[in-house]
Structure 1
Amino acid sequence: MVVYRFLLTPRWLGILALTLVASAVMVLLGNWQLERYHGRTEINEQIDAGRRMDPVPLRDVLSAPTGGSGTVGPPPAEEKTWTKVTVTGRYDPANVVLVRGRSVDRTVGFEVLTPLVLADGTAVLVDRGWIPPVRGGDATAQPDVPAVPPGDVTVAGRVRLSESGSVGVARREGRLETRRIGLEQLARELPYPVHGAYLLLDGQTPAADPLFRAVPIGYTNNWQNLGYVVQWWIFAAMTLFGYGWVARREARRLAGVEPERPIDRAAEPAPQGAA
């Protein structure tokens, strides 16, 4: 082991420190991606469970808002996201919300949210589905939205959380329009308290207009995160292996086991005056 004493020199100790730090960072990045993998897997499992389950009453999942007009109630517990619920109320056609810039089958159109006003005077926003833009118009031209069914409507849908990010809400041509479903911003434009989650429609009685297309549910790409986990951990192992390989080669050189690289005499310039 005397031959490995060079590892205690400042130069090699510095190389070791850099190697350990780099490996530790890669392991931590792998652990972070592993956490993201588990989180996204749970979301996909919730989506599957919501698809299979029978609907439960809205109040089993979502508490009623207790504030006044323009306020939002508490959000549901995270594990209740994607739960299928049922609720009865009356659609409010005066406060339809168009969510622009939403794509289905590579066509940009609108998702249509309509407040469902319950017997207690509160409302829950229902995403009734996707519709294309006006034929011959651009993607921002407001479409003709099918009329809401009159009277009481029983809705079955899955619980969705408010979307994050900056949200601007404007009233154009008598309808509210936005890019994201931000419940707090939308609630300020509505004349009643709003529940802290919205519903993605699965079905309703009376039946929804056939113009609506179901909004596709995108599963999270959890396998991509798992691939990153393996990638970072392999990089960490390769870094440590590389340090050991270089150190062993240096030890063999110092011990005379690893021969010096031979000089290529043919590559040397010929002496001046040589024929």
Structure 2
Amino acid sequence: MTSRYSFLTSRRWLGLIAAAVAISVVCALLGYWQWSRYQGRADQVALVEANFDQDPVPLTDLVSRPGAELDPAHQWRPVQVQGRYLGEVVVLPQRGVAGNPADHVVGVLAVDAGDGPDWAVLVDRGWYTTDTFADHAAAQELPSGQVTTTMRLRPAEAPSPRVLDVGQIHRLNPTQALTAATGTEEDDSAGYVLATGIYGQLAAETEGGSDVVPAELNLLPRPVADLGSHLSYALQWWVFALGLYVALVVLARREARDPRAPAPVRRRADTDEDEAIENQIQASATSSA
């Protein structure tokens, strides 16, 4: 007796099953990709929550030497340093903040690191709204004397391949910032060593006990603790992958119950046998007549 589901071995159904499996695998991989993005974002939010409001510590407590990379666990940790700014102010143009068009004011701070030469540390001092026709001199003014600076540590960015305008950088890269601020690259006679693996986001700054952050300059805000929609997208992809198999089962059950479903094609041997029987019946009927 022929099985109700024998049609599953037909070419049409094998093609449907293969397509469903292939698409479901793609959906599962896309779901995993969104899940990975969700986990990465959750780790970043957790790091901000753990480090952002900690009390400042000396820079050398978190970074062992000027050329060291920043430990990922120390991102957003506040440090307090004393030093003076080198050279001229540098501008990082057109890097938006919280959806606002913004230019960043950048300086290179020669930090007293205790024993040995000073460390030259890149400091993102804050931002103002991008406006080509406005005078931003007040926001770009650097303190001229010894300052006490609190900043939150961030990993240095890769150098920009773009041609740099005078007094500008396109990424927060210490080497390019030092060149833009002083007109020269680091050398042994400079009296300081460039911290190449870090930069700081300004949190507070005083000179002689007085606040020297310009009123026209906005400090960078706390990162938004938003996990985004990655988890929702991951679940949607996985549900869609499972839904493909559910749809296959429903379609197969419906076709098995449908009396209008095409009958299975009989084998040629069965057809030949039936024709032989019919011929014998006809021959018997003729002879009887």
* Distance in 1 (alpha carbons) for counterparts of 2:33 and 2:16: 26
The 8 Å contact of residues 139 and 217 in structure 2, kept in 1 or not, is answered as: no
Q: Is 2:220 aligned against 1:227? A: no
Q: Give 2:255's match in structure 1, choosing from 250, 253, 256.
A: 250
What code does the residue aligned with 2:254 have?
R
Q: Superposition RMSD on alpha carbons, in Å?
A: 2.8
Query: Structure 1 165/38 Cα, relative in aligned 2: closer, same or farther at 3 Å?
Result: farther
Task: Answer whether contact 1:85 1:158 (CA < 8 A) is retained.
Answer: yes
Q: Which runs of 4+ in 1 moved over 6 A?
A: none
For residues 106 and 21 of structure 1, what CA distance do their matches in structure 2 show?
Answer: 40
Unaligned runs of 5+ in 2: 187-192, 263-289
* Alignment correspondent of 2:26: 25
Matched, 1:127 2:124: yes
> How many positions carry a matched residue from both structures?
243
Report what 1:137 is aligned to.
133
Residue 111 (structure 1) aligned to one of 76, 85, 104: 104
* Alignment deviations for residues 16-72 of structure 1 (CA, whole Å, 9 cap, x no partner): 12111211211111111111101111111111222221112212222322xxxxxxx
The residue that corresponds to 1:91 in the other structure is: 85
Return the alpha-carbon distance in structure 2 between the equivalents of residues 13 and 236 of structure 1: 18
What amino acid sits opposite 1:137 in the alignment? F
Question: Which whole-Å CA distance do the structure 2 matches of 1:132 and 1:103 have between them?
Answer: 9
Structure 1 residues 220 and 61: CA distance shift in structure 2, 3 A: same
Per-residue deviation at 1:146? Answer: 4.5
Q: Deviation at 1:145?
A: 4.2
153-162 or 214-223, which moves further after superposition?
214-223
Indicate the residue corresponding to 2:194 in structure 1: 194
Q: CA deviation at 1:217?
A: 3.8
Mapped contact 1:133–1:143 kept (Cα < 8 A): no
> Which residue is 1:268 aligned to?
none
Tell me, yes or no, if structure 1 residue 52 matches structure 2 residue 53.
yes
TM-score, length-scaled by structure 2: 0.74
CA distance in 1, matches of 2:230, 2:41: 9
Q: Could you say which structure has the larger radius of gyration?
A: 2
Q: Relative to structure 1, is the Cα distance of residues 133 and 2 closer, same or farther in structure 2, using a 3 angstrom cutoff?
A: closer
